[in-house]
Chains A and B, each alone.
Chain A
Amino acid sequence: MSDTPKDFDGRRWHDMGGQPAGPVKPAEHDFALWEKRVDALQVLMSSKGYFTVDGLRRALEDMGEDAYEKYSYYERWIAAVNQNLIEAGLYTLEELGAKMGEVKTRGGTYGDASA
């Protein structure tokens, strides 16, 4: 991260082995329903052949370091799943945008909106 553009050797941000980092904090949480659904969508759509685990990882890597620091694991995963499904041509951004707009009108919480 402290690399200047001149020092850049091609190592990408996700390739973390051996980089300096702080202590390992034993953090964990149980997964929320929406996170489990993201996980399930990833497994189902890749097992149906719409993308590969490498396609998912590629999208996660291409989101960049800022996204890794800013968003949670399954937030990045749904973005990567969506990216791959769009690339697979399963639906269009227009369809997605319209559906997301409709979902938002249902209520202010995940419970209300995911009826």
Chain B
Amino acid sequence: METPVHKAPFHKVRVKTMMPPGHIRTPAYLRGKVGVIERPLGEFGNPELLAYGHQGPKKPLYRVRFTMAEVWGPGAETPTDTLDAEIFEHWLEPVE
């Protein structure tokens, strides 16, 4: 089991940019985007294994908050509006 990236909320993370094929619950529009952990949600079955009939270890899941400016750049509808998504730890890397 990996150690969680951050147990405490409001730490900065970047969503990994990798684009493997298959059943993945990290939306493409968030790849490479930087957000803050709003709260840890606990550990959950890994959809990338469950989808193919395998179990594997559970993975920590976080609610990550992004600004619309970060996600959509200068074209954002209202840059200060925010977006929350649930992202598994193995899709996050810490940002210093």
> Is A in direct contact with B (CB under 8 Å) within the complex?
yes
Which residues of A pack against B, CB within 8 Å?
Answer: 9-12, 15, 17-18, 51-55, 57-58, 61, 87-88
**Is B23 a contact of A17 with CB atoms below 8 Å?**
no
Partner of B51, one of A9, A52, A88: A52
From the candidates A11, A18, A51, A54, name the one contacting B47 in the complex (CB within 8 A).
A54
Q: Is the interface of B mostly helix, strand, loop or mixed?
A: loop
Could you tell me the distance in whole angstroms from the C-beta of B49 to the nearest C-beta in chain A?
8
The SS class assigned to the A binding surface is loop
Alpha-carbon distance between A88 and B53 when the two chains are bound, in angstroms: 9
Residues in B with CB closer than 8 Å to A52 are 45, 50-51
| Bound Cα distance A52, B47 (Å) | 9
- State the CA gap A15–B29 with chains docked (Å): 8
Contacts of B50 in A (CB 8 A): 52-55
